[in-house]
Amino acid sequence: MMFVSLGIGTTVAIVLILIVSLLTNARNANAPSGALPPSALVGKHVKAFSAPGLVGGTVRAPWASGHPGVVIFFASWCTPCQKELPKVAAYLDAHATGPVRVLGVDVNDANAAGSKFVRKSGVHFAVGTDPNFTITAGLFGFGQIPETVFVNAQGVVQQVYFGAIPVNQLKAGLARLGA
């Protein structure tokens, strides 16, 4: 009798897991890879920020001056970032972004290592530093990188891409912002 109860309980548990998996996948079937699950930031206003520039000066969030923006969080020590950033930089060099401004945030990195990585990756957009996770974790709530955030000119988050962003997703996000 005990084995029958265990068998029925196990079967019910497996069926419930399958149903939840199917419902979860069906709900997210149209979302791009890397954008799952949707971020709680989408639709929220994010405060404009400024940060020390990696090569000097100060960089500011594009929406602080009324421009839509893409914020790319990365670091030289991040393996996925090492593959992502050169592709992103090459795409941005070859394509106009219109009113959309792109800003990099170098996270928890030594300036020398970050500068070398940015040069090696061919980055020509502004890059700020975030040595203490003030922007990354404090403002955006990210615990890992790479992450890419698309923000409209009013400072409202339109999309968050978790992980290394493929060029086709970057292109689509830029288009949604008006590039």
pLDDT for the residue 11 = 43
Residues 91 and 163 in one domain: yes
Same domain for 21 and 60, yes or no, is: no
User: Does the global pTM surpass 0.75?
Assistant: yes
> What is the count of structural domains for the chain?
2
Of the pLDDT bands very low, low, confident and very high (cuts 50, 70, 90), residue 114 is very high
**Least confidently predicted of 21-25, 64-68, 100-104, 168-172:** 21-25
Read off the DSSP letter of residue 28. Answer: T
pLDDT digits (tens, 9 = 90+) for 36-53: 456 889 999 999 999 999
Contact 37, 78 (CB under 8 A): no
Distance linking the first and last C-alpha atoms of the chain = 67
Question: Same domain, yes or no, for 119 and 59?
Answer: yes
Q: Are residues 61 and 15 located together in one domain of the fold?
A: no
Say whether both 63 and 139 belong to one domain: yes
Alpha helices in 28-150 (DSSP H): 79-94, 111-121
